[in-house]
Structure 1
């Protein structure tokens, strides 16, 4: 049975990547929520058809729209097959997707904890093996004097350990006493896929080292401040997002068998602010910050920012980087780091927004929120690296580690 939304297909917010398939430029379409494990690879030439999957065009009219746009014949049966394939992969915003979304969300919430999504693939699932891996990174970093336990926050990368392990070790060793002294830890990380500005969860995060208990009372207070429906609209992104998981592993590694309550917060895109906007005008963000400040005032809290720096080069749709370009990138990163070091949330945002976020800094949303939250804080740069992001060494992800006292 077809529902009206099936006749007027509407594409969800999905992950679309350029790939080469059988020697031809293609598009890989994937569900970022991973409700479905299916993915589609379509010809790049079919890409414009996705523009008309907006809920406003009847499926039989899309071929005609493409014909007018491209000036070439378009097979209506091919477009019909594409829409059916999108539906079967749960990539359309329709009843079929909504039913599966609710089932998946119910299972996620009913589980005893959020299982680590990357254990066994990105890092070892066996705790002893994982500890040996992190021990190697710490040994490679050499002696690091811990900062005083009174420190208020840290910035950690969330790139994979294979590329960022040294910077992880530098910052988490520098922050070790701060981490061990904390009575509650606010985990604030990049949400790479959700269109929601802020996403909460009441679920607990697990790693191979154990389960981190989520402070439900704080989550409830945050949800009340920003609105329950708004707070949990994108909750399933917690299930698959790696940014909090990769710092949670280091958190437990440093604390050992002394878990403490955490508050997991994912922060989505700031794109809506980059063209002359100001995140300080967002009523819900301000309510979130005000509520979190009450938490900080009542307990010894540590703010953990999980965010990487720049994403540049062909892997991210840009031009190949030369050594000269990489040095220029370092200088540009230093301007952003300088504003974090000064605890200047507004200046940090303006520095990035002034370029239209040309460097694709995925740590912008969580770092801005954390700087606003900590207020009048001073940062110390502990480590910096430019990590390769393609086989030719012409794309990089830059990362850094900082502690805030």
Structure 2
């Protein structure tokens, strides 16, 4: 048929209306489900995303951001994510806002392997539980739909990554202290370090660093440091702002790379710090000591939460990803950053004996160890400050928490940062 005749004949054929927008053609019947994971850079790392996609056969989109930023987004727009990775101090805010739904533990493959730290607050008998939002206090969904410690089938979050935090100091300028004996939160307010001190810029975290420092320094005491009263908060910020105005604090930091930069550039010699920051500095040859304060650590527990708006195949894929996080490899990966996983024995098989002995058992490194970036982060013979996993979590002073006075602390924190 000649081209002109074909066009003429085709003009008389009625086409289905659906062809206009091509929706039926473009939609694949067996397309891989896609989940959106919102959280911080701590866990939203590209190597983990790529490996999970390959092993699970799903598409995973990461949306990392700053702590306060992602919490605001998740709280106000739960349809913008399927899974949310953050810290336990965000749980009450998310739950009360209706941004997350409960997780069915019967769909969590390794639930029975999760250790007692997450489930009842004590890693071993006789260990300190710590003030504030210890994970077991906000884990279980109660009959009245509130969060509490009474075990139930439904939980508000998947317990996974966790760690103890303190402060780091440069041993070129500050004499090395003795873990649990002389190292103290009070060092953050030592006049000898004035102008060379930094604090993490997060009101549900930094406030406890300031409180622990003020109490250790003998400047004030708290009835319950995990749930401060308004009068205690007023007194604490009066102290902190006075120090700030006198130039004691070099500033605040909002990301791990920023904290590393401050010490690497010799702008600070002591600061609030997360474990990867201390490891990164050590990898650069800077002798940053990660303290084991005699008053106890400020601890945090990672939470993986399911959006209240997630349903169907996205919900199924979200459960796949949660189970993958407890399957061994991810726990071994984050151990090389100094973090722990809630079922560590499963990750042991993905770690060398030397890695396990250093990161979990508290033994000297039998050989140099690499971090997640492939570079040496632990020198041979090094001992992890604070000792073993069990020892560190037996000495928790307070957990990152959203206190009853949370709203009252926000303008106070802003005043401190801007003063």
TM-score under structure 1 length normalisation: 0.28
TM-score under structure 2 length normalisation: 0.27
Query: Which of structures 1 and 2 has the larger relative contact order (alpha carbons within 8 angstroms, sep 6+)?
Result: 2
Higher gyration radius (CA):
2
Q: Which has a greater percent of helix?
A: 1
